[in-house]
């Protein structure tokens, strides 16, 4: 490792920031005297900030365990770990390791983004546009991490400076309002600093608009529905208007993104740069360690005799781990002719020349095509994790617009692509928005959105218990702050 790489590792491999547990073992604390001296240093720092995202403890595994298992989308294989069953059965404890990991990695990412924000503006002799882009990306990343935290845990410590000494680690919780104020300010700043150039695995101005629209929608619908914790939002209608404004920018103020005519093309490994992908967590199967490449597809793909499976279009994939199992509640909710079911969920495979039908209540069940790499090397894949997709933003625009001509036009674009009839006209605002949220459940299944949609619309009980017969055994709208953080941080 060269001196500069070592220095950034020393500076940034620090702590959980929420408590003093320091679960990411620090190599030590170092000054920035030997780093942040050049454009190359700035580029290395932002790459390091992004590198937390594809780790298995974040978007390449744990994020899906934490956000999908508590919904009607996924359950797990019988021999999965006890902590997975806690999430699946909605009885998550404060010492749950996956939830603890989600907290920890978000704060590691925040610290890395803070280091870029604090130091890159002071680098001399650096191209101004490049400086702005890099700092804007850091603001975007910090906002993304905090948005994940506030949707998962609610109140949490807020850090806007890099941690460089052990004395800085402990911090009290900030309110939801304070956290959302920071998230909004960060994304507004990011949108002003970044350009619209597409860079694989990196954010741009359109990504900032997209995330900001989702932030405003989360506040608007949480306030409107009476979801716990959102009394601070002064006006749901004003927040809906802002969500529509920024989603409208995504739809109208750029020319690089749009709906892909073919559903399967969206998730084709050869078309990562397709029109739907506004921001994704990038991976590469040729990487040296997990986190460079992804094993996420193996979580979804069933294990069938360890054999190679041939799909209906001739694509061949290896048996996976059968860890995530599609729930009947989701699968049976699709219309039989919905292309998101017929084209994006695999129900029939050919193994050793024999066609096998995967039953929704079987051990090996129908599984999503959204995470497949036919060029997989061993267990290594290049499957990106979608974070912001264009169809997501079309539905944000629809929900924020309500039952207007614009709202109907937006949702009906998504429905038409899926082979469905237009939504029934004449709905009131509440009924229309509920229909959009249901459309999101079908469109964005297995992409880490459903838990947040149920929480912000105050539907955890009515949907999971009322419709799907689950039993919620702990607080459904925010996970508890991890126990070890509370134990070690007196300010919590």
Tens-place pLDDT, residues 12-51: 333 333 333 333 333 233 345 679 999 999 999 999 999 9
Closest CA to 49 of 201, 186, 169, 197: 201
pLDDT in tens, 274-308: 999 999 999 999 999 999 999 999 999 999 989 99
Alpha carbon distance 242, 179 (integer Å): 18
Alpha carbon distance 313, 321 (integer Å): 22
Predicted local confidence at residue 86, as pLDDT = 97
Beta bridge partners of 381: 294
Q: Is the pLDDT of residue 384 over 90?
A: yes
Closest CA to 105 of 32, 18, 27, 42: 18
Predicted local confidence at residue 32, as pLDDT = 58
Alpha carbon distance 392, 377 (integer Å): 31
Closest CA to 376 of 321, 323, 325: 321
Predicted local confidence at residue 164, as pLDDT = 77
Q: Is the pLDDT of residue 225 over 60?
A: yes
What residues contact residue 181 under an 8 Å CB cut-off, 6+ apart?
none
Q: Is the pLDDT of residue 416 over 90?
A: yes
Residue 442: pLDDT band with limits 50, 70, 90: very high
What residues contact residue 441 under an 8 Å CB cut-off, 6+ apart?
330, 333, 450, 453
Predicted local confidence at residue 30, as pLDDT = 38
Average pLDDT over every residue of 244-261? 98
Average pLDDT over every residue of 49-68? 97
Predicted local confidence at residue 24, as pLDDT = 37
**362 CB-side CA count, 13 A:** 15
pLDDT in tens, 140-192: 999 999 999 999 999 999 999 998 777 777 889 999 999 999 999 999 999 99
Predicted local confidence at residue 169, as pLDDT = 76
Domains of the chain as residue ranges with CATH? 1-172+459-492 (1.25.40.390), 293-383 (no CATH)
Predicted local confidence at residue 489, as pLDDT = 85
Predicted local confidence at residue 33, as pLDDT = 63
Predicted local confidence at residue 214, as pLDDT = 98
Predicted local confidence at residue 19, as pLDDT = 36
The dihedral formed by the CA atoms of 233, 208, 252 and 447, expressed in degrees to the nearest 10: -90
Average pLDDT over every residue of 418-438? 98
Residue with tokens 């359109």: 206
pLDDT in tens, 16-27: 333 333 333 332
Q: Is the pLDDT of residue 396 over 90?
A: yes
Q: Is the pLDDT of residue 351 over 60?
A: yes
């Amino acid at each position: 490792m060269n001196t500069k790489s070592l220095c950034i590792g020393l500076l940034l491999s620090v702590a959980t920031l929420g408590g003093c547990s320091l679960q990411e073992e620090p190599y030590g604390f170092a000054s920035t005297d030997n780093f942040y001296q050049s454009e190359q240093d700035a580029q290395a720092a932002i790459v390091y900030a992004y590198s937390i995202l594809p780790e298995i403890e974040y978007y390449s595994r744990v994020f899906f365990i934490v956000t999908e298992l508590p919904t009607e989308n996924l359950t797990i294989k019988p021999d999965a770990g006890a902590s997975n069953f806690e999430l699946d059965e909605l009885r998550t404890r404060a010492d749950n390791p996956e939830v603890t990991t989600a907290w920890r990695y978000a704060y590691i990412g925040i610290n890395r983004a803070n280091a870029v924000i604090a130091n890159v503006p002071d680098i001399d002799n650096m191209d101004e546009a490049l400086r702005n882009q890099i700092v804007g990306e850091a603001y975007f990343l910090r906002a993304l991490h905090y948005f994940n935290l506030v949707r998962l845990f609610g109140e949490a410590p807020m850090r806007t400076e890099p941690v460089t000494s052990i004395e800085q680690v402990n911090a009290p919780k900030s309110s939801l309002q304070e956290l959302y104020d920071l998230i909004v300010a960060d994304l507004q700043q990011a949108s002003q600093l970044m350009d619209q150039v597409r860079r694989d695995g990196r954010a741009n101005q359109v990504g900032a608009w997209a995330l900001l629209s989702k932030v405003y929608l989360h506040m608007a619908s949480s306030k409107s529905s009476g979801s716990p914790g959102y009394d601070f939002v002064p006006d749901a209608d004003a927040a809906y208007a802002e969500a529509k404004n920024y989603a409208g920018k995504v739809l109208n103020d750029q020319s690089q993104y749009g709906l892909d005519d073919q559903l399967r093309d969206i998730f084709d490994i050869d078309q990562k740069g397709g029109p739907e992908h506004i921001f994704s967590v990038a991976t590469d199967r040729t990487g040296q360690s997990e986190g460079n490449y992804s094993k996420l597809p193996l979580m979804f793909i069933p294990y069938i005799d360890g054999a190679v499976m041939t799909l209906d279009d001739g694509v061949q994939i290896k048996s996976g781990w059968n860890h995530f199992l599609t729930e009947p509640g989701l699968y049976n909710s699709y219309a039989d002719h919905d292309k998101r079911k017929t084209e994006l969920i695999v129900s029939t495979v050919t193994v050793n020349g024999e066609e096998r039908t995967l039953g929704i209540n079987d051990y090996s069940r129908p599984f999503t095509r959204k995470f497949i790499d036919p060029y997989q090397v061993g267990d290594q894949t290049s499957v990106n994790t979608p974070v912001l997709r264009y169809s997501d933003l079309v539905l944000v625009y629809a929900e924020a617009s309500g039952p207007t001509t614009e709202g109907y036009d937006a949702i009906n674009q998504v429905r038409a692509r899926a082979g469905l009839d237009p939504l029934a006209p004449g709905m009131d605002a509440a009924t229309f928005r509920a229909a959009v949220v249901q459309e999101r459940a079908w469109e964005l299944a297995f992409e880490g959105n459903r838990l947040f949609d149920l929480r912000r619309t105050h539907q955890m009980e009515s949907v999971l218990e009322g419709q799907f017969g689950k039993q919620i055994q702990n607080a459904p709208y925010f996970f508890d702050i991890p126990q070890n953080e509370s134990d070690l941080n007196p300010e919590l």
